[in-house]
């Protein structure tokens, strides 16, 4: 099994994520593109102590088109995971 820090790359800190934390106890993370839901669940439970993951939802995000002078390109594709935790658990990011 891979190191949990190779699966969960970083938390996504923005306004939408803050609303999800308050309303439905869902925390957004950027994860490795080839990570499965089971791997993400185990990695979150290993990284954060005393956290019980209830559900994981994932989505592939397509990279945006970018233009630099005369060239056009695309940012990389990435995977986002919404991690739902139990009512007793807390994640301090």
Say whether pLDDT at 1 is over 80.
no
Backbone angle region of 21, left / alpha / beta, with phi > 0 → left and psi within -120 to 50 → alpha: alpha
pLDDT of residue 43: 97
Show the tokens assigned to 32: 């490795």
84 confidence band (pLDDT: 50, 70, 90): very high
Question: Encoding tokens for residue 48?
Answer: 């954060």
| Structure confidence by residue, pLDDT tens digits, 38-71 | 999 999 999 998 899 999 999 999 999 999 989 9
Say how far apart CA 33 and CA 41 lie, in whole Å.
15
Q: What is the mean pLDDT of residues 24-43?
A: 97
**Domains delineated in the chain:** 4-85 (3.30.70.330)
**What is the reported pTM?**
0.90
- N-term to C-term CA, the chain: 24
The pLDDT assigned to 92 comes to 83
pLDDT of residue 31: 98
Rounded mean pLDDT, 5-16: 96
Query: What tokens appear for 63 in the block?
Result: 């990279």
């Amino acid at each position: 099994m891979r190191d949990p820090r190779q699966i969960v790359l970083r938390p996504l800190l923005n306004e939408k994520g803050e609303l999800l934390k308050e309303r439905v106890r869902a925390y957004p993370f950027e994860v490795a593109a080839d990570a499965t839901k089971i791997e993400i669940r185990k990695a979150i439970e290993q990284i954060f102590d005393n956290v019980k993951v209830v559900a994981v939802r994932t989505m592939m995000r397509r990279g945006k088109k970018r233009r630099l002078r005369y060239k056009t390109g695309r940012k990389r594709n990435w995977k986002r995971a919404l991690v739902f935790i139990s009512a007793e658990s807390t994640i301090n990011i």
